């Protein structure tokens, strides 16, 4: 409100350069300002902020070279096919604590994770070797993947992945997933390979760390897919939302559950959340499938015999 008033006042004070504009701004042309038009103007005002690109040009905003970047840009920066951060940190984790209980599930201290992020963004990797808390390290790995501006599984393939995993026929499913993985850009493939090999090593210690492939996939799956995918509002997905999936298995009567989740006046749940939760489950399933079928997926079959599992 104030800002609009202010700017239009400034217009009129500037003299009679653009009297029509200022009049329009104040009176809104034919329509006197309604609640809606004010909201719309405010929205326009907020949207008209300089874009990130403009800020970058002016040197106000400096993007981080590692966190929040793309795998392609990071690899270019590092002159590698796999981000140095991933190669190093997976090695540190494997060195220090594959047996730690709840590895990749338990949260790390947030400020310590941010500290790692800052250091890594300045190409300082010693911090990884100095960090003794495994959960800070694993938290940083998950953060890295969540923050990628283009997730390791590209957004453009999300729907296809979600479709592929629903195949009931084992061979068809395997082929569909395999084909999709082959569509990934090289650096994505290579990074995924390092990550999957690493997670399999973690799962190999599940007797000690209690993290099975299934558990790891729940924690990791959603981090590898787009983090800000707007829940679609079309009916198709709505129809497939499985109520017992949305809120995990439980012994409630189905009636109770249905009533609560689908009732509109229930402020505790909303449709987009159901869809988002559903997607998260599927993301987990996709990663679980990749971990389990690792040996049968062609992108992981070494071409030059360097598969180092």
Partner 1 sequence: MAKKQYDLLFKLLLIGDSGVGKTCILYRFSDDAFNTTFISTIGIDFKIKTIELKGKKIKLQIWDTAGQERFHTITTSYYRGAMGIMLVYDITNARSFENIAKWLRNIDEHASEDVVKMLLGNKCDMTDRRVISKERGEKIAIDHQIRFLETSAKSNINIDKAFYDLAEAILDKMPSQSSTNSMSIRPVEQESNKPQGGCC
Q: Which positions lie near partner 1, rule CB under 8 A?
A: 102, 105-111, 133, 135-136, 139, 142-143, 146, 210-211, 214-215, 218-219, 222-223, 227, 246-248, 250-252, 256, 260, 265-270, 273, 276-277, 280-281, 284
Q: Which is nearer to partner 1, 135 or 198 (CB)?
A: 135
Q: Which is nearer to partner 1, 11 or 142 (CB)?
A: 142
What 3-state DSSP class applies to 92?
helix
Nearest residue (CB) to partner 1, 147 versus 293? 147
Start-to-end Cα distance in the chain: 62
The sign of the torsion formed by the CA atoms of 227, 273, 51, 113 equals negative
Residue 161 Cβ vs partner 1, minimum distance, rounded to whole Å: 17
Let me know if 302 is exposed, middle or buried by CB neighbors in 10 A (0-12, 13-18, 19+): exposed
- Euclidean distance between CA atoms 181 and 165, whole angstroms: 12
Q: Provide, rounded to whole angstroms, the least separation between the CB of residue 198 and partner 1.
A: 18
**Residue with Cβ nearer partner 1 (219 or 299):** 219
Q: How far apart are CA 160 and CA 167, in angstroms?
A: 11
Rounded least distance, CB 238 to partner 1, Å = 16
Angstrom distance (rounded) from CA 50 to CA 57: 11
Of 75, 51, 46, nearest to 61 by C-alpha is 51
State the minimum distance, in angstroms, from the CB of residue 21 to partner 1: 39
* Helices 186-204, 271-292: inter-axial angle, 10-degree rounding: 80
Min dist. Cβ of residue 71 to partner 1 (A): 18
User: Smallest distance from the beta carbon of 218 to partner 1, in angstroms?
Assistant: 5
Whether the Cβ atoms of residue 76 and residue 82 lie closer than 8 Å to each other: no
Q: Which is nearer to partner 1, 225 or 294 (CB)?
A: 225
User: For partner 1, which is the closer residue by CB, 190 or 288?
Assistant: 288
Q: Residue for token digits 């995993």?
A: 165
| Integer Cα distance of 300 and 162 in angstroms | 21
In the complex, least distance from residue 144 CB atom to partner 1, rounded to whole angstroms:
12
Please state, as a whole number, how many other Cβ atoms lie within 10 Å of the Cβ of residue 73.
Answer: 17
* Cβ proximity to partner 1, 169 vs 249, nearer residue: 249
């Amino acid at each position: 409100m104030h800002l609009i008033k202010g700017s239009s006042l400034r217009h009129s004070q500037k003299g009679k350069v653009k009297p029509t504009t200022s009049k329009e701004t104040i009176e809104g042309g034919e329509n006197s300002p309604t609640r809606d038009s004010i909201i719309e103007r405010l929205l326009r005002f907020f949207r008209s902020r300089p874009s990130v690109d403009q800020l970058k040009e002016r040197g106000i905003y400096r993007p981080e070279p590692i966190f929040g970047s793309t795998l392609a840009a990071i690899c270019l920066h590092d002159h590698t096919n796999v981000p140095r951060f991933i190669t190093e940190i997976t090695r540190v984790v494997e060195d220090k604590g594959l047996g730690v209980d709840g590895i990749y599930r338990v949260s790390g201290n947030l400020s310590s994770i941010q500290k790692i992020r800052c250091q890594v963004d300045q190409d300082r990797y010693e911090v990884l070797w100095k960090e003794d808390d495994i959960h800070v390290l694993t938290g940083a790995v998950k953060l890295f993947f969540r923050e990628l501006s283009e997730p390791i599984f590209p957004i453009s393939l999300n729907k296809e992945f979600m479709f592929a995993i629903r195949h009931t026929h084992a061979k068809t499913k395997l082929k569909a997933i395999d084909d999709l993985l082959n569509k990934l850009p090289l650096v994505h493939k290579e990074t995924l390979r390092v990550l999957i090999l690493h997670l399999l090593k973690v799962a190999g210690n599940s007797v000690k760390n209690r993290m099975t492939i299934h558990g790891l996939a729940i924690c990791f799956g959603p981090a590898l897919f787009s983090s800000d995918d707007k829940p679609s509002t079309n009916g198709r997905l709505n129809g497939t939302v499985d109520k017992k999936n949305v809120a995990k298995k439980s012994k409630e009567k189905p009636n109770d559950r249905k009533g609560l989740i689908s009732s509109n006046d229930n402020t505790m749940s909303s449709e987009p959340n159901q869809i988002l939760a559903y997607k998260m489950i599927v993301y987990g399933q996709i990663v679980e499938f990749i971990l389990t079928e690792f040996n049968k997926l062609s992108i992981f079959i070494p071409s030059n015999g360097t598969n180092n599992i």
